[in-house]
Amino acid sequence: MSAQIGNDDVHSELGQTTNVWVVIPAGGAGTRLWPLSRAARPKFLLELVGEQSLLQQTVDRLTPFAPPARTLVVCGPSHAAGVARQLPTLPEANILVEPAPRGSGPAIALAAALIARWDPNAVMGSFAADHDVRDETNFVRAIQTAILAAAGGDLVTIGLAPTRPEVGYGYIERTDEVLVSASDRHAYRSARFHEKPDLTRATEYLASGRFLWNAGMFVWRVDAFLAKLSQLQPDLYAAIVHIAAAWGTPEQERITEEAWTNLPTSTIDAGVLEPAAAAGRVAVVPAEFGWSDVGDWHGLGDLIQRDELGNSVRGDLIQAETHNSVVWSDTSRLIALLGLENIVVVDTDDALLVIDRARSQQVRQIVDRLRDLKRHEV
């Protein structure tokens, strides 16, 4: 495998020696998109942008790298049926059902261990199930560069060039050391992972040009990843290798349940990437491809075509003197708005949300309250 191949040749070149596998951890509920997203109907299964669910769009976006046979979705028991129905071409065995949520660390590690068993020389990429990408061409090019960079055994992340001083994301700080170049794209040695900053720090990050958003997209050789994992989280490594060995045998369920339920919850970032970056073994590919994590109603509003008054509307709306608002209806009811500015209205069969658009992040608090109250609308 060569680091000098052209962008368009990467996949075919890799195909000869190395298979790319795609892993899609489908975990989060998308709490901040309540009341549309629910525990039983999580964000990745919803048609929020376009005619397909975010999960379907994620799989489609990655078909240049992996066919359904090399695509794995990791999800919880209550979402397996939804995933299976939405992705009819995905083999059933490629839906990995976690017995219980343990965070992104165990989910991605289990997928890596299974891929390593089936295809030891594989490169895998992990991509969140519920993000939106506008520029698929640039997305594909960034992933191609990451695959090239992964050949040397580094753990490669995609770092999104920040467009605002966002305090809601973690950041990846890159060095100037170029690991791999493909056309005008580079993979840099990354220096450090940074937690969600305050606004002052986020503004400094934005100005520096060396800080990138951590969008939870990772590419690596499975052997290199598992070697790092065995060193950094030996208990997790032992558990997932044990489970992977039993996978597909009559013992799968018993062993998975035993080994999995004892695992502590951990994230792939804190458990592997941050210590690996500190040890100098993480690379980052800076990219811009119109990315959004579709994280809250404010952000989702930005992804929907606005009308001439700046309103983003899905539903049967009559309005007067209402601007820059987001209206989402999951019912056939008429919604009438008058004299409002920067409001979000979300209408579902059993719950109605009306908020100041600037408070979109705080929808989580409402859901927490509902959970405390044991309300069925969660």
Footprint on this chain of its own copies (rule: CB under 8 A): 35, 318, 320-321, 332-340, 343, 345, 347, 349-356, 358-359, 362-363, 365-366, 369-370, 373, 375, 377
Quote the DSSP letter at residue 70. Answer: G
Tokens of 52: 């397909």
Nearest C-alpha neighbor of 41 from the set 85, 11, 8, 71? 85
Query: Is residue 149 within 8 Å of 16, Cβ to Cβ?
Result: no
Angle at 115 between CA 109 and CA 117, to 5 degrees: 105
CA distance 289 to 273: 23
> How would you class 377 by CB atoms within 10 Å of its CB: exposed for 0-12, middle for 13-18, buried for 19 or more?
middle
Query: In whole angstroms, how close is the CB of 317 to its own copies at the nearest point?
Result: 10
CA distance 362 to 323: 21
Query: In whole angstroms, how close is the CB of 48 to its own copies at the nearest point?
Result: 19
Give the contacts of 156 (CB within 8 A, at least 6 positions apart): 146, 149, 150, 187, 218, 219, 220, 282, 283, 284, 285
Nearer to its own copies, 254 or 371 (CB): 371
Query: In whole angstroms, how close is the CB of 318 to its own copies at the nearest point?
Result: 6
Asked whether the CA dihedral 128, 131, 132, 138 is positive or negative, the reply is: negative
Query: In whole angstroms, how close is the CB of 123 to its own copies at the nearest point?
Result: 44
**111, 115, 118, 210, 242 from 254: Cα distances, Å:** 18, 21, 21, 47, 12
Nearer to its own copies, 48 or 355 (CB): 355
Nearer to its own copies, 149 or 337 (CB): 337
Query: In whole angstroms, how close is the CB of 246 to its own copies at the nearest point?
Result: 44
Query: Is residue 71 within 8 Å of 126, Cβ to Cβ?
Result: no
Nearer to its own copies, 11 or 41 (CB): 41
Residue 115: strand, helix, or coil:
helix
Tokens of 200: 């002052």
**90, 146, 163 from 93: Cα distances, Å:** 8, 27, 39
Query: In whole angstroms, how close is the CB of 308 to its own copies at the nearest point?
Result: 17
Asked whether the CA dihedral 196, 200, 206, 211 is positive or negative, the reply is: negative
Query: In whole angstroms, how close is the CB of 60 to its own copies at the nearest point?
Result: 33
Query: In whole angstroms, how close is the CB of 299 to its own copies at the nearest point?
Result: 16
Nearer to its own copies, 40 or 100 (CB): 40
Nearer to its own copies, 277 or 345 (CB): 345
Nearer to its own copies, 286 or 299 (CB): 299
Nearer to its own copies, 117 or 359 (CB): 359
Query: In whole angstroms, how close is the CB of 27 to its own copies at the nearest point?
Result: 24
Nearer to its own copies, 253 or 349 (CB): 349
Query: Is residue 311 within 8 Å of 327, Cβ to Cβ?
Result: yes
